[in-house]
Amino acid sequence: MKLPRRFEGPRARVAMAWAVAIAAGILAYGTAATAYVRLPRPQPFEELAYYPSGQHLRPATLGHAETAADLAWLRAVQYYGEHRRTDLRFERMAHVFDILTSLAPRFVPAYIFGAFALAQEGFQFPEAEKLMLKGIENNPTSGELAFEFGFLYYVRPGGRELRKAAEYFEQASRQPDGPPQSARFAAFARQHAGDLRVAQELWLDVYERSNNKLMREMAERELAKIQEALETGRTELAVKKLSTPRVRMGSRH
């Protein structure tokens, strides 16, 4: 076909090439937009479609549960890292950590890491609590785990649960491997939950047992506040309204 004279020459051919490219681009964009709207999204389950599940998982490892647990731990960290870098969606994280802790029920760091990731970044506090309860059931004498469970309630998103926090801080303080600050945290949580008589006993215990001068001075100050609050009936002298901090995973693990 012979082109009109106004479409002949190098400039005309360049202009036509640009016009074709722009038209192709518009067509491609339209096709992509239609596909985005009509095609199904990738489902969270698909990335773990072959990830194991079920109550009989441990026997299925044929005596190599520890090796399977190592692989599960790597997969759990990978899963957390992938979603933290991309979409911050952790729909299958509870499943991943449940499998891991079924294979390695004494692996305390898995309960702690999984629970804080679920609560603070996955916004799945009930699943975090369930994982921690499983950990306590499998490791009833772990002071470290009891303390971290108390801390999970202490920084609970949406509002602290001070009485539950204090319960597990107290449990941690009774275990040989419990962090030394467990008793102080228990007294502090009881005090600001309004349980002044219990807090008084706990602070007195801190004062009598601690070899740390600063700790004893702190306990003495809190005991004086509580005593004044009890004598005057003015609980506000010893009880503060605490805001809820947000835990950054990188700063804890």
CB 189 within 8 A of CB 166: yes
Q: Higher-confidence residue: 237 or 70?
A: 237
Helix, strand and coil in the chain, % to nearest 5: 70, 0, 30
pTM > 0.85: yes or no: no
> What secondary structure letter does DSSP report for 2?
P
Residue 253 has pLDDT above 50, yes or no: no
Length of the chain: 253
CB 131 within 8 A of CB 141: no
Q: What is the mean pLDDT of the chain?
A: 80
C-alpha distance from residue 248 to each of 19, 113, 135, 222 (Å):
52, 12, 22, 29
Residues 6+ apart with CB under 8 A from 164: 150, 153
Q: What values do phi and psi take at 153, rounded to 5?
A: -70, -35
Q: How far apart are the first and last CA of the chain?
A: 72
> What secondary structure letter does DSSP report for 178?
S
Residue 39 has pLDDT above 70, yes or no: no
Residue 119 to residue 137: CA distance in whole angstroms: 20
Query: What ranges in 39-124 are assigned the alpha helix state H?
Result: 57-60, 65-85, 93-103, 108-116
- Summarised one tens digit per residue, pLDDT across range 187-236 is 999 999 999 999 999 999 889 988 888 888 889 999 999 999 999 999 98
How high is the pLDDT of residue 134? 97
How high is the pLDDT of residue 73? 86
Residue 64 has pLDDT above 50, yes or no: yes
pLDDT band with cut points at 50, 70 and 90 for residue 74: confident
How high is the pLDDT of residue 210? 82
CB 189 within 8 A of CB 154: yes
- Summarised one tens digit per residue, pLDDT across range 5-29 is 555 665 666 566 566 555 655 554 4
Residue 242 to residue 236: CA distance in whole angstroms: 12
- Summarised one tens digit per residue, pLDDT across range 81-129 is 888 888 888 888 999 899 889 888 999 999 999 999 999 889 999 999 9
How high is the pLDDT of residue 32? 43
How high is the pLDDT of residue 75? 84
Going 239 to 240 to 244 to 250, the CA torsion angle's sign is negative
Residue 199 to residue 186: CA distance in whole angstroms: 8
CB 247 within 8 A of CB 120: yes
How high is the pLDDT of residue 53? 61
- Summarised one tens digit per residue, pLDDT across range 149-176 is 999 999 888 888 999 999 999 999 999 9
Residue 5 to residue 7: CA distance in whole angstroms: 5
pLDDT over 70, % of the chain: 70
How high is the pLDDT of residue 127? 96
pLDDT band with cut points at 50, 70 and 90 for residue 45: very low
Residue 216 to residue 210: CA distance in whole angstroms: 6
